[in-house]
Structure 1
Amino acid sequence: MPEPLERAIFGMYATHAVHLADRHGVFAFLIAHGPSRIGKIAAATGTDEETLGRLLVALCAFGVVAEGGSGEYRVPARSVPYLDRTDSRYTGAFVSHLIGSTADRMSYLDAYLVHGKARVDVDLPDPFETIYTDEESVTAFLAAMWQLSFDVSGELADLAELGAVEHLVDVGGANGPFSVAALLRTPTLRATVFDLPQVGPHLHRTRDAYEFGDRLAFVSGDFFYDELPEGDCVAFGYVLSDWDDDTCLDLLRKAHTACRPGGRVLVMDRLFDGHHHPLATAVMNLSMHVETRGRHRTAEEYVGLLRAAGFVDCEVRRSTREKHLVLGRSASQGG
């Protein structure tokens, strides 16, 4: 069997194995103590030795862990940041979201293929009504989104060059991954997160944890029905891929109204390079189909939406990571 096909077929085992090894502290132990035998790992983590052994063999076959031939397993250095719970690049909460939420939604794809998404979803609630159904669900979702967004947000904030910006409005900013990254890098900046009421307590906890005081504010609202707060920079961090083109255009027009003359809008998201790459963008594009009403786009598609909404001097600034920045400017008065 060709290796790409083999890995695709058995991929569900890899995701579950990563989730369980993280959940039961296997990665944490290996990162803290270095190469170790199965018996030692099992004793330290309180796991069944036989089951753990099979789990590690599978993870080794997938290249997630390595075994040096002496029966000792280790986490390769290149993977440590993504499996270390203390690192800003840690992905454990996102993997938990895949197992606990995305996997259930994938069953809808069969009906979508036969009947189309619009017909199947016609009587279903708004996707975020489901995601925000209770406090536990909100907490889990925001933790996953923080892990996917915070680390790369630092680079995107640098690319945005916010030194002259006074007030950043972070639309759908959740518990603040982009706002926090921007505030940490720009001492004169104030930021307002605009999001649904359920998000407020989580944003306030973020504000308190980083001791931002009144530099980080929260405004409750629904961007479908409410106007956006005014600012000289309006940001959509990893939000527009949740929605279709018409909805995105409406939101960008609202941003144009909220953006002071001479200000700018920031769109941050995964971008397709062509139609099939990168892999993460292609896979998350499928996830957007089953979990939201959106899709991932090319840079050119976002530039087209920005121009249609009234923004000018649009440009793309690419990071070294999986998410990038598309920027548009609001014309100055009389310009």
Structure 2
Amino acid sequence: MTTTEDPTTAAAVDPGPLIRLTIADCAAKALHSAVTLGVFRALADGPADAARTAELASLHPRMATDFLDALTGLGLLERAEGRYRNSVLAQTYLVPSSPSYLGGFVELTNETLYSTWGRLTEALRTGSPQHLDPDKGGFVGDRHQDPAKMKRFLAGLDAYSDRMGAELARRVDWARYGSFTDLGGARGNLAAVLVQAHPHLTATCFDLERTRPLFTEHVGRLDAADRIAFAGGDFFADPLPAADVFVLGHILHGFDTGRRRALLRRVFDAVGPGGTVLVYDRMIDDDRSDPERLLSSLHMRLVSPEGSEYRVADCRSWLREAGFTGGGAEPLLGTHTLITAHKPNPAQEDAA
């Protein structure tokens, strides 16, 4: 027997959320194009009408007004008496001269996400990770082979690590420590933020040896080479640089559970007695209900053979297995979770 849906029931269900979800990428692409074309840079010094904004950002007149009004509707621009200006959000984060500029991160996501997520259906069918085609300008998977692409990739990450470093500098009682190792520290941007905020600290960035030239150039430009060292090696094969604190940001999500546990055991051995480990990622909430965190996990599965996000409870369990105590979790920048755990100090315990 064939059944048909009651049309009155369908009419009572608003399809709006479904339609908005279907075209959600349109808004993101508008943002990406605005950053690439320099719309927010063009309006950084004050309002301009549509014709002048189009001239400054090289927008074709046929497209300009709808484009600028769409950006206004998205909360990125404001319009008054026919003139456009940056919203507070855009002026703060999307003007290249701003110290909190996130345009590099916007451009990074534009170049890395769309082509890869276009292969999601194939990945869901096969379980195989998907990589961008280097011939089409992508650099996920092949970025280390091209220094120019690697610099662009790291510049995008710098836009985010500036904010992350500032938040960690504020949240952690660094007066208790003298040194830290940033595991996977790339070209040293987060480490530089921390040592600039806390001048008594020294740091080591541990990353692949091929990252060293990029680190040397970047840290030298930041005038921090005397306080941040680079150690090249493999997380699982080479000695980890000893320190009072280890920072693992966006590291554990790149490995399967077995390798996460192994790495945390190695970190436990390398951190000094009474020291601390800081782990942050877009961790999945324990009841697995936050769609943004779950999509982030799906992205890691899409682009890597063994990566994914993980639950907060799982991370705490791995830290305890490694020997750490504590494991307090707190939100970080609204998109991440920070877990802080400690290595016991037998000398202090004996004295107590």
TM-score, normalised to structure 1, is 0.88
CA distance in 1, matches of 2:15, 2:72: 19
Change (3 A) 1:212 1:187: same
Offset, 1:152: 2.6
- Indicate the residue corresponding to 2:10 in structure 1: none
1:192 to 198, 201, 204: 204
1:132 aligns with 2:150: no
Give the C-alpha shift of residue 21 in structure 1.
1.2
Counterpart position of 1:79? 90
C-alpha contact 2:158 2:190 (8 A) present in aligned 1: no
Structure 1 residue aligned with 2:23 = 10
Corresponding position of 1:224: 236
- The AA in structure 2 aligned to 1:164 is R
Conservation of the 8 A alpha-carbon contact between 2:330 and 2:337: yes
Q: Do the aligned partners of residues 317 and 16 (structure 1) sit closer, same or farther apart at CA in structure 2, a change above 3 Å counting?
A: closer
Aligned-pair CA distance for 1:129: 4.5
Is the Cα–Cα contact under 8 Å of residues 112 and 140 in structure 2 kept in the other structure? no
> Could you say if the C-alpha distance between residues 199 and 58 of structure 1 is closer, same or farther in structure 2, counting changes exceeding 3 Å?
same
| Residue correspondences, number | 326
Q: Distance in 1 between matches of 2:107 and 2:147?
A: 16
> Does the C-alpha gap of structure 1 residues 4 and 176 become closer, same or farther in structure 2, counting only changes over 3 Å?
farther
- Aligned counterparts of 1:144 and 1:156: Cα–Cα separation in 2: 19
Q: Match of 1:324?
A: 337
Q: How many Å separate the matches in 2 of 1:247 and 1:239?
A: 11
Question: Which ranges in structure 2 are unaligned for 5 or more consecutive residues?
Answer: 1-13, 132-138
Q: Give CA deviations for 1:97-129 in whole Å, capped at 9, x if unaligned.
A: 2222221211332122222247x89xxxxx975
Q: Distance in 2 between matches of 1:276 and 1:209?
A: 43
Task: Indicate conservation of the 8 Å contact 1:138/1:198, yes or no.
Answer: no
Amino acid at match of 1:322: T
| Cα separation, 2, equivalents of 1:32 and 1:149 | 26
1:159 CA displacement: 1.7
Structure 1: gaps spanning 5 or more residues: 122-126
**What are the equivalent positions in structure 2 for 1:152-163 lying under 5 Å apart?**
152-163=164-175
* TM-score using structure 2 length: 0.84
Q: SS of the residue aligned with 1:263?
A: strand
- Secondary structure at the aligned position of 1:214 is classed as coil
Note the C-alpha offset of 1:298: 3.3
Instruction: Identify the residue that residue 38 of structure 2 maps to in structure 1.
Output: 25
Structure 2 matches for 1:193-208, cutoff 5 A? 193-208=205-220
Q: Structure 1 residues 181 and 321 mapped into 2: Cα distance closer, same or farther (>3 Å)?
A: farther
The offset of 1:3, in angstroms, is 4.2
Aligned residue for 1:307, secondary structure, equals: helix
Identity %: 27
Greater alpha carbon shift after TM alignment, 183-192 vs 99-108: 99-108
Q: Match of 2:127, as an amino acid?
A: G
CA contact (8 A) 1:193 1:216 kept: yes
- The AA in structure 1 aligned to 2:282 is R
- In 1, Cα distance between equivalents of 2:15 and 2:256: 36
The code of the aligned residue for 1:203 comes to F
The separation in 2 between residues aligned to 1:224 and 1:331, in whole angstroms, is 23
Aligned to 2:312: 299
For 1:124, the equivalent position in structure 2 comes to: none
Q: Give the whole-Å Cα distance in 2 for the aligned partners of 1:238 and 1:103.
A: 21
Does the 8 Å CA contact 1:15/1:95 hold for their aligned counterparts? no
SS of residue in 1 equivalent to 2:205: strand
Which of 1 and 2 has greater Rg?
Answer: 2
The structure 2 residue matched to 1:116, chosen from 120, 124, 127, is: 127
- Asked if the contact 2:143–2:150 (Cα under 8 Å) also holds between the matched residues in 1, the reply is yes
Taking the TM superposition and a 5 Å limit, the aligned residue runs for 1:163-312 are 163-273=175-285, 274-277=287-290, 280-292=292-304, 293-312=306-325
**Cα distance between partner residues in 2 of 1:212 and 1:269:** 26
- 1:132 counterpart SS class: helix
* Among candidates 295, 299, 315, match of residue 328 of structure 2: 315
Change (3 A) 1:98 1:128: closer
How far apart are the structure 2 equivalents of 1:32 and 1:224? 50
